[in-house]
Amino acid sequence: MANRKEPGTDLEPAAGNGLLHRRVFLGAGAMAGVLGAAGMAHAEPLTVPEWVTKPGKRPLPYTQPSPFEGKVQRTIPDQNPLYEPGSAAGRTPHQFLEGMVTPNGLHFEVTHNGVPDIDPDKHLLVIHGLVKRPLKFTVNSLLRYPLTSRFHFVECAGNSGALYGANPVKGTVQQLHGLLSGAEWTGVMLSTLLDEAGIDPKAQWLLAEGGDATGLTRSIPLAKAMDDVMIALYQNGERIRPNNGYPMRLLVPGFQGNMNIKWLRRIRLTEGPMQTRYETSRYSLLLADGKAAQYKLQLDAKSFITRPSPGYQMQGAGLYEISGLAWSGNGTVKQVEVSADGGKSWALAALSGPVLPKMLTRFRAPWKWDGGPAVLQSRVTDDTGYVQPTRDALLLARGAKAQYHFNGITTFQVAAGGEVSHVYA
Amino acid sequence: MSTRSLIAALLLALPAAAAESPHLGEPITEADIASWNLDIAPDGAGLPAGRGAAAQGEAIYTEKCAVCHGFDGVGTPADALVGDQKLLATPKGVKTVGSYWPYATIIFDYTRRAMPLNNPQTLTNDEVYALTAYILKLNGIIGDKDVMNAKSLPRVKMPNRDGFTQIYPGNLK
């Protein structure tokens, strides 16, 4: 092997405080050299583990993660104990995950009055209102339609809302940004069914309704519905689970998570938006001038670092990989930059493909930590040219009461001892 | 078939295949959908027959709502339903029916479909009108004796009616 130098010494700096050129990941040889050298340790005879000496367990019909991964759980805050279930959230533990797809058991959810157990044989989807032919569809009939598979993120508009607050969050990225997940969704394009019902030219919006004990209704622009909205039946290859909308949910790529109506049972075409509780009392942004921004539907580009992130303990100076997620509800991630000096200098991260529109993109950047204090940030630019703003810029534009759609830069401080915490830059 | 015409045929076939549909939707009438269609538009379209005033509403509220929304709608454990517009200007920007909601019809729509949380869709239309009247009265928006029905409810002007700006299809700066 050509590379016989000390680990890290041949790596080209890309920005301040130890950030290295992402080329490390582009040339497998260079990385192998670094890791190989670092992995060399003093000789010690290997022990023979007990699991090679006896047969393992029989295969299960439906498998579970290793018992040693028990910490990888969604957080379910113990809120409103009096009227359980009420409205509740399960957050994705991004600090423990890699890649761009969230496992189904860890996909986030927000429910407003519990998870219904819907019998698919008794479930119907109705399309009515400003259509030529009101129609009803059984679940079985929808399964016979041409299916489309697409990777998309779903993000609650309230995700990261705590970052509008005056104090940094004492918590992990799960608490900060856990109302976000990404999956492969398979279903029937809504446009196919709307064409079948025949759209009245007066229709400009539609109202979608869930068939649970909340009957959640949201207005969706018809132009969006005809563009890329899907009635999703499968998530990551298996039928959508009850907490994510079984037997079917609406998928409204890049728009507020709340609009991705679970347990979808009714679509009504209308002239204008219906001004429901979830698009007035909730999911509108109270701005600094006292006015509320309503129907701000698109989720703008955002990114955050998942490792190292709060809860992670650095294990001494040396080479680390910074890993994180970036996405945009308006298009595709074009580039992600990372900083180790609080935004003074930036290095381009490597994007781990495929890089898909309105889907999570995994980014990685090599970082040689010198063991001293560091301030980590990531910043995404999407293909519309939009650059993720700083938290200060966002607060200046919106005030601190906007509550929803926080997409400012997240900052983590690495202390000299290797402890990682959320801070404001 | 030449290679070129084969490619052309394939290109034509792809979008056509995607648009193909087995047309399995069965006709249904609006009358048959009525039991599911509980939508109330801001202009009052969809409001059913029935009526109610605050006095009746108070009794129902105390029995079925106060446990979660507090007596007189002051809140805890669930949302406060009462509060004037000054609350929006406080550092927390407290949003209530009185301080924030643009249309009175939303109270009817949401209460009828989703409340009480432990027993949704069990209230009669008269009860929902009465509860709506009571919540509006608690907020000082209508009087004690004002009767709410399909005509009067959409005419109620909410204090924050002009507090909203529609962003779509644009975006925030």
A4, A22, A278, A281 from A27: Cα distances, Å: 16, 9, 49, 52
Q: Do A242 and A337 fall within a single domain?
A: no
Segments forming the whole domain that contains residue A353: 302-423
> Domain total for chain A?
2
The pair of three-digit structure tokens given for residue A196, joined into one six-digit string: 């079948």
What's the rounded Cα separation, in Å, for the pair A373 and A411?
Answer: 13
pLDDT at A78: 59
Domain contains A227: yes
List, in order, residues 6 or more apart from A149 with CB less than 8 Å away: A184, A185, A186, A234
pLDDT digits (tens, 9 = 90+) for B134-157: 999 999 999 999 999 999 999 999
Among A250, A285, A320, residue at a domain's last position? A285
Q: Which residues neighbour A173 within 8 Å (Cβ) at sequence distance 6 or greater?
A: A94, A95, A304, A305, A306, A309, A310
Q: DSSP letter string over A347-383? A: EEPEEES---TTS-EEEEEEEEE-SS-EEEEEEEEET
- Helices then strands, each counted (H, E), chain A: 7, 25
Q: Tell if the CB–CB gap between A135 and B117 is shorter than 8 Å.
A: no
Say if residue A171 is in the same domain as residue A314. Answer: no
Q: Which residues contact A269 (CB under 8 A, 6 or more apart)?
A: A127, A128, A129, A130, A131, A194, A199, A200, A203, A205, A206, A222
Instruction: State how far the Cα of A184 lies from the Cα of A235, in Å rounded to an integer.
Output: 6
A265 to chain B: nearest residue by CA?
A: B36
Model pLDDT, residue A85:
53
pLDDT of the residue at A43: 83
pLDDT tens digits for range A300-337: 999 999 999 999 999 999 999 999 999 999 999 999 99
- A331-367 in b/e burial notation, b at 16+ Cβ within 10 A? bbbbbbbbbbbbbeebbbbbbeeebbbbbbbbbbbbb
A293 close contact with B: CB closer than 8 A: yes
Decide if A289 contacts B88 (C-beta within 8 A). no
Q: What is the pLDDT of residue B17?
A: 43
pLDDT in tens, A280-303: 999 999 999 999 999 999 999 999
pLDDT digit string, tens, across residues A338-367:
999 999 999 999 999 999 999 999 999 999
Q: Indicate the residue of B25, B89, B173 with minimum beta-carbon distance to A137.
A: B25
Q: What is the pLDDT of residue A87?
A: 80
Q: Which residue of A has its CA nearest to B65?
A: A83
Confidence of residue B20 (pLDDT cuts 50, 70, 90): confident
Q: Single out the residue in A240, A259, A285 at which a domain terminates.
A: A285
Angle of the B54-64 helix axis to the B125-138 helix axis, nearest 10: 100
What digits encode the pLDDT tens for the residues B74-129? 998 889 999 988 889 998 899 999 999 999 999 999 999 999 999 999 999 999 99
DSSP tally for chain B: helices H, then strands E: 7, 2
In this predicted structure, the answer to whether residue A118 has a pLDDT above a threshold of 50 is yes
Answer whether residue A7 shows pLDDT above 60: no
For residue A53, being part of any structural domain is answered with no
pLDDT at A35: 45
Query: For residues A251-260, b (16+ Cβ closer than 10 Å) or e, as one string?
Result: bbbbbbbbbb
Q: Does A204 share its domain with A313?
A: no
Supply the pLDDT for residue A269.
Answer: 98
pLDDT band for position A88 (cuts 50, 70, 90): confident
The secondary structure element, H or E, covering residue A262 is none
Largest Cα–Cα separation, chain B: 83
Separation of alpha carbons A301 and A389, rounded Å = 9
Are both A249 and A134 inside the same structural domain? yes
**Is B24 part of the contact surface with chain A (CB cutoff 8 Å)?**
yes
pLDDT at A27: 53
- Alpha-carbon span A410 to B18, nearest angstrom: 41
Find out if CATH 1.10.760.10 is the number for domain B37-162: yes
φ, ψ of residue A83 to 5 degrees: the values are -115, 40
Residue B12 has pLDDT above 90, yes or no: no
Q: Are residues A276 and A354 in the same domain?
A: no
- The shortest CB-CB distance from A128 to any of B30, B88, B113 is to B30
Residue A41: pLDDT band (50, 70, 90) is: low
Residues of chain B found within 8 Å of residue A283, distances taken between Cβ atoms: none
State which of A240, A260, A285 marks the end of a domain: A285
Q: Which residues of B touch A207 (CB under 8 A)?
A: 39
Spell out the domain ranges in chain B.
Answer: 37-162
Cβ <8 Å between B77 and A83: yes
Report the candidate in A277, A261, A240 with the shortest Cα–Cα distance to residue A125: A261
Distances (CA, A) of A232 to A42, A236, B66: 54, 11, 39
Query: Cα–Cα–Cα angle for A196, A201, A207, nearest 5°?
Result: 70
The answer, for A246 touching chain B at a CB cutoff of 8 Å, is no
Q: Which of B18, B24, B110 sits opposite A144 (nearest CB)?
A: B24
Same domain (yes/no): A267, A331: no
Minimal CA–CA distance to A337: which of A322, A355, A356? A322
Same domain, A225 and A345: no
Any domain includes A224: yes
Residue with tokens 């070129």: B4
Residues in chain B within 8 Å Cβ distance of A142 = 24
Of B36, B93, B106, the CB nearest to A126: B36
- Domain with residue A151: its CATH number is 3.90.420.10
Whether the CB of B31 is below 8 Å from some CB of chain A: the reply is no
The CA distance from A124 to A139, in Å, is 7
A386: phi then psi, degrees, rounded to nearest 5: -70, 130
Which tokens sit at A105? 């058991």
A242 contacts A115 by C-beta, under 8 angstroms: yes
- The mean pLDDT of chain B is 90
Instruction: Check which CATH number belongs to the domain holding A412 and give it.
Output: 2.60.40.650
- Closest residue in A to B23 (Cα) is A196
Whether A176 has a pLDDT exceeding 50, the answer reads yes
Residue A54 sits at φ, ψ, to 5 deg, of -145, 155
Please answer yes or no on whether B117 and A113 come within 8 Å at the CB atom.
yes
Q: Is residue A4 part of a domain?
A: no
CB atoms within 10 A of CB B154: 18
Contact B159, B83 (CB under 8 A): no
With 50 as the cut, is the pLDDT of residue B6 above it? no
Residues A175 and A323 in one domain: no
- For residue A216, which of B59, B7, B132, B109 has the smallest C-alpha distance? B109
Residues A267 and A354 in one domain: no
Give domain status of residue A392, yes or no. Answer: yes
Taking a C-beta distance cutoff of 8 angstroms, is the pair A120, A139 a contact? yes
Residue B149 is predicted with a pLDDT of 98
Q: Reply yes or no on whether the pLDDT at A31 is more than 70.
A: no
Question: Average pLDDT over chain A, rounded to whole?
Answer: 93
d(CA A93, CA A97): 7
Instruction: State residue A4's pLDDT score.
Output: 43
* pLDDT above 90 as % of chain B: 81
